[in-house]
Amino acid sequence: MKATIYDVAREAGVSIAAVSQVMNGKGKISEERRAEILKTMERLNYQPSVIASALTGKKTYTLGLVVPDISNPFFAEIARAVEDQGHEMGYSLIICSTDNKDERVERYLTLLQQKSVDGMIIGTGMDNKDMLKPIMDRAIPVVMIAREMQDLALHTVVVDDFVGGRMSASHLIALGHKRMAILAEHSKVTSSRERVKGFLHTLGEAGITLSDTSVRNCSYTVENGKREALSLLEQPAAVRPTALFCCNDMLAIGALQAAKQLKLRVPEDVSVIGFDNTILASVTDPPLTTIAQPIEPMGKQVVDLLLMELKKRSQDKQRVVMRPELIVRQSTGAPATQG
Amino acid sequence: MKATIYDVAREAGVSIAAVSQVMNGKGKISEERRAEILKTMERLNYQPSVIASALTGKKTYTLGLVVPDISNPFFAEIARAVEDQGHEMGYSLIICSTDNKDERVERYLTLLQQKSVDGMIIGTGMDNKDMLKPIMDRAIPVVMIAREMQDLALHTVVVDDFVGGRMSASHLIALGHKRMAILAEHSKVTSSRERVKGFLHTLGEAGITLSDTSVRNCSYTVENGKREALSLLEQPAAVRPTALFCCNDMLAIGALQAAKQLKLRVPEDVSVIGFDNTILASVTDPPLTTIAQPIEPMGKQVVDLLLMELKKRSQDKQRVVMRPELIVRQSTGAPATQG
DNA sequence: TTGAAAGCGCTACCAC
DNA sequence: GTGGTAGCGCTTTCAA
């Protein structure tokens, strides 16, 4: 059976308080006792129970990461960055894939509370923001990554989505595109909305407007992107968009697949630009031009903010905005025919 | 502050035992008291503490998943499958990325024990199997996924790696290849070893042998695969392999990149076949022929085995072997010149 | 310095 | 049916 603090105390001939003290480096213990206790712990292969110590008002050293889907490379990469930075500081990570469903979000949020996580990192959207209320009421630190929660005072780490959208547009415009379309995520996803907004803004500056049907809302799956792209690209060449701005790499891949299915060449017949610069972007056919998010620094940053908040609750919340970067690969080029 | 069982009891005018009872559906409680208590819990927004209940000898409803790297799509997909099946049964998942480093494995294993997880799912390799001993001594259920631990009685869910290797070889041989090479993972990875073995076995049956330098050990990164593939493909056409069997999709992507860099056409100049059939395989240039692992069923299965073990320790451990499947895409074809 | 003892929130046993 | 109570393993006063 597992050795407890009692076993150690008994074996070492001291009180449990003494053992607790050497573990936490608190109180005053003579060097010899200290050494003796340490030795006994070693011998018994003693592992202090985080559970018990958490119950005593301490921390669980566990964080919750709530994202739409851990199997989505973007979030998987975020998870890794968060895990590493957390691990560095002694924290473990519970992952929660919500599929962007409020009902799953709620269930996970409740679960994380019951498990007394020390803090939560939210990277998923949710329709009903009130779900976060009870958590904040209980003073459980919450930080956002790659998503924003308007009207809620929360530390937030995001990439400048608006600028990312603008970068996309500038790139496409510089290439000579005039007829474009957008594969957006669900409209409740703020980051996607901002990207679209930035894209349209720069288009507007260049005197280009898009018809309503040129902005398609998709879920965040490849299949969905493909379906919407198909309906966009099936149009006659004269009205078909010559470039597709996709709000994430998965959608861009769907677009690539749609183009292939329709025997359209990329980028000659249609340019495709993604967002996120996940590993996927570097392996597609052709390699995807995309807007990079600095995932690792974002993950580090968000954990740092969370731990800072953990140490000392603060009224003013930071909003860290990181700069996106245009990564030009081979899925974008000048349109073959004048649009 | 958070409401406790005492708050509920007081507000409802009953004992904490009564509250505990209705929560766990045990004991006997009159319908009216029951309703009253439920109502009070609701009103106070009471969330029972898993921590406290765990301390009372119950479960933590938390599982640990130990894999090399959660940002690797293969493991990310496994994680999702495991998370879903676990969530279904009320369990949360702590992820642990080890980078296949024993020191990280050990640290995580210790951590998971201290956090009193109910069970662990191991999908990472480790040099020193003794690390698992203390865990098994403590009777913490452990199951393996996509990896084997020889000499250790553990439930295991794997794909038939040997057969997968054979499938690869058969496919390549049928295409007419004679000079082939292998990008293997580190030799300590049993699954990789089996794949190589199966591949070589079938080659042998066809009277084909490989030189020692034709089997390269890599880590599991794209960069590594690329480097090894480069050194393999840089050879003069007369001796250069016409096909590369890669023990996972990441390595295969590295091979694809190496070929591209050397201006070799795939599959005309060199065929590439991967393993795992992650999302990556479907988006490469050209799309990757690969051996599919049934990831989702494997994840489900492994959780089921773990929970079964949790319910009732059993002496005989199962070894579930799932059948791999050859997915032919466009990275393999007949060699352009006779080898 | 050191240790006895009071909880932390909950479960389960047992007496009423 | 119902509630009192003894822990679970650990932290933290507070006396000694």
Share of chain B above pLDDT 90, in %: 83
Question: B256 touching A, CB under 8 A?
Answer: yes
pLDDT of B339 strictly over 50: no
Does residue A26 lie within 7 Å of nucleic acid chain D, judged by its CB?
yes
Pick from A1, A319, A337: which is nearest to A155 by CA?
A319
Residues of A in contact with B5 (CB under 8 A): none
Nearest-CA residue of chain B relative to A54? B51
DSSP state of B264: -
State pLDDT tens for residues A167-188: 999 999 999 999 999 999 988 8
Residue spans of beta strands (DSSP E) within B9-134: 62-67, 92-97, 119-122
B126 lies in a domain? yes
In this structure, what token pair is assigned to residue A264?
């359209």
pLDDT tens-digit profile of B238-266? 999 999 999 999 999 999 999 999 999 99
Does one domain contain both B152 and B301? yes
Q: Which residue is nearest to nucleotide D11 (CA to C1')?
A: A56
pLDDT of res. A99: 93
Query: Could you tell me the CATH number of the domain that includes residue A261?
Result: 3.40.50.2300
Residue A47 contacts B, CB cutoff 8 Å = yes
CA distance A203 to A182: 12
Q: Are residues A197 and A135 in the same domain?
A: no
The answer for A 144-173 residues in CB contact with B (under 8 A) is none
Say how far apart CA A237 and CA B217 lie, in whole Å: 49
Which pLDDT score, from 0 to 100, does residue A186 have? Answer: 87
- Please tell me whether residues B221 and B289 are part of one structural domain: yes
Nearest to A71 among B76, B96, B256 (CB): B76
Q: Which residues of chain A have pLDDT under 50?
A: 338-339
User: Which tokens is A125 given?
Assistant: 């959207």
Residue A20 lies in a domain: yes
| Residue that is last in its domain, among A252, A278, A293 | A293
d(CA B155, CA B135): 14
Does residue B54 lie within 7 Å of nucleic acid chain C, judged by its CB?
no
Q: How far is A334 from chain B (nearest CA, A)?
A: 21
**All residues at 6 or more sequence positions from B143 whose CB lies less than 8 Å from its CB, including other chains:** B119, B120, B121, B122, B154, B155, B156, B157, B302, B305, B306, B309
- One domain, residues A14 and A94: no
Q: pLDDT at position B26, please?
A: 84
- In the chain, the amino acid numbered B166 is R
Residue in B56, B59, B70, B85 to test binding to A, most A beta-carbons within 10 Å = B70
Residue listed under structure tokens 């773990």: B306
Whether the beta carbon of B20 falls within 7 A of nucleic chain C: the reply is yes
Instruction: Measure the CA–CA gap between B241 and B214, rounded to whole angstroms.
Output: 8
Q: What is the pLDDT of residue A134?
A: 86
Closest CA to B50 of A62, A6, A2: A62
Partners of residue B155 on adjacent β-strands: B143
**Are residues B96 and A92, on separate chains, in Cβ contact within 8 Å?**
yes
pLDDT digit string, tens, across residues B164-212: 999 999 999 999 999 999 999 988 888 999 999 999 999 999 999 999 9
Contact A247, A192 (CB under 8 A): yes
Q: Of A71, A106, A137, which to mutate for an interface test with B (greatest number of B Cβ within 10 Å)?
A: A71
Percentage, residues of chain B above pLDDT 70: 99
Does the residue B334 lie in any domain? no
Helix, strand, coil percentages for chain A (3-state, nearest 5): 45, 15, 40
DSSP state, residue A244: E
Q: What is the pLDDT of residue A190?
A: 86
Chain A hits for B84, CB-CB cut-off 8 Å, are 97
- Pair (B191, B169) in one structural domain: yes
Q: Does B285 touch chain A (CB under 8 A)?
A: yes
- Chain A residues touching B61 at Cβ < 8 A: 115
> Cα(B64)–Cα(B91) distance, rounded to whole angstroms?
10
In a domain, B339, yes or no: no
The reported pLDDT for the residue numbered A178 is: 96
pLDDT number for residue A27: 74
DSSP code for B288: P
Residue B271 lies in a domain: yes
Is A21's CB less than 7 Å from nucleic acid strand D?
Answer: yes
Helical pair B16-24 and B31-44, crossing angle rounded to 10 deg: 90
Kindly state the helix (H) or strand (E) to which residue A33 belongs, with its residue range: helix A31-44
Q: Are strands A62-67 and A92-97 parallel, antiparallel or unpaired?
A: parallel
Question: At B47, is the secondary structure helix, strand, or coil?
Answer: coil
Mean pLDDT to the nearest integer, B6-31: 92
B111 shares its domain with B128: yes
Contact indicator for A5, A21 with CB cutoff of 8 Å: no
Identify the CA nearest to A267 among candidates A241, A293, A291, A247. A241
Is B255 inside any structural domain? yes
Taking the model in full, what pTM does it have?
0.94
Could you give the CA distance from residue A274 to residue A280 in angstroms, rounded to a whole number?
10
Q: Which residue has the higher pLDDT, B311 or A294?
A: A294
Are A138 and A176 contained in the same domain? no
For every residue of B166-184, which 3-state class applies, written as one string? HHHHHHHHHCCCCCEEEEE
CB A86 within 8 A of CB A93: yes
Which token pair is B154? 């553990």
B283 vs A: CB within 8 A: yes
Expressed as residue numbers, the domain containing A36 is: 5-48
Element (H, E) at A106: helix A102-114
State which amino acid sits at residue B203: L
pLDDT of residue A339: 41
Task: Mark yes or no for CB contact B95/A97 under 8 Å.
Answer: no
Contact between chains at B73 and A70 (C-beta distance less than 8 A): no
Q: Any atom of strand D under 7 A from CB of B49?
A: no
Q: Does residue A253 share a domain with residue A166? A: yes
* Chain A interface includes B138 (CB < 8 A): yes
Residue A156's beta-bridge partner residues? A144, A319
- How does the average pLDDT of chain B come out, rounded? 94
**Nucleotides in chain D with any atom closer than 7 Å to protein CB:** 1-5, 7-13
Which amino acid makes up residue A331?
S
B95 in contact with chain A, both atoms CB, cutoff 8 A: yes
Q: Which positions ≥6 away from B146 have C-beta within 8 Å?
A: B74, B78, B123, B157, B158, B159, B191, B293, B298
* Residue entry with tokens 């045990």: B26
Q: Least CB-CB distance to B54: which of A51, A62, A94? A: A51
Measure A55 CA to nearest chain B CA, in Å: 6
Q: Which of A92, A251, A276 to mutate to test the interface with B (most CBs of B within 10 A)?
A: A92
Contact A171, A200 (CB under 8 A): no
Give the domain CATH number at B10.
1.10.260.40
pLDDT at B311 over 50: yes
By residue count, chain A amounts to 339
- Band of residue B1 on the pLDDT scale cut at 50, 70, 90: low
Gyration radius of chain A's alpha carbons: 25
Task: Let me know whether A281 and A178 are in one domain.
Answer: yes
Residue A105 to residues A55, A120, A135, B119, Cα–Cα distance (Å) = 26, 12, 13, 24
Query: Can you tell me whether residue A46 is helix, strand or coil?
Result: coil
Distance from residue A17's CA to nucleotide C7's C1', rounded to whole Å = 14
Indicate if B191 and B153 belong to the same structural domain: no
Chain B residue with minimum CA distance to A134: B45
Query: How confident is the model at residue B108, as a pLDDT?
Result: 97
* pLDDT of residue B337 exceeding 70: no
User: Which chain A positions have a beta carbon within 8 Å of B92's beta carbon?
Assistant: 94, 96, 111-112, 115
Q: How many CA atoms lie within 13 A of A257 on its CB side?
A: 18
How wide is the angle at C-alpha A282 spanned by C-alphas A277 and A287, nearest 5°?
Answer: 110
Q: Tokens 């630009």 label which residue?
A: A273
Q: Give the integer Cα–Cα distance in Å for A278 and B281.
A: 15
Nucleotide closest to residue A116 (CA–C1'): C9
Residues of A in contact with B115 (CB under 8 A): 50-51, 60-62, 92
| Residue at A286 is within a domain | yes
Cα gap B51→B60, rounded to integer Å: 7
Q: What is the pLDDT of residues B97-147, one digit of tens each?
A: 999 899 999 999 999 999 999 999 999 988 888 899 888 888 899 999 999
Q: Is A102 in contact with A128 (CB distance < 8 Å)?
A: yes
Angle between helices A161-175 and A190-205 (to 10 degrees): 40
Q: Is B266 within 8 Å of chain A by CB? A: no
Protein residue minimizing CA–C1' distance to D3: B15
Residue B114 has its nearest CB partner, among A48, A79, A84, at A48
- Same structural domain, B206 and B267: yes
State residue A256's pLDDT score.
Answer: 95
Joined tokens for residue B179: 């000079």
Domain count, chain A: 3
Residues of B in contact with A285 (CB under 8 A): 283-287
Q: What residues are paired with A271 via a beta bridge?
A: A243
Question: A125 and A153, same structural domain?
Answer: yes
State how far the Cα of B209 lies from the Cα of B76, in Å rounded to an integer.
36
Residues β-bridged to residue B66: B96, B122
Look at residue A319 and tell me if it is in a domain: yes
| Cβ B40 to strand C below 7 Å | no
Please count the other Cβ atoms lying within 10 Å of the Cβ belonging to residue A64: 24
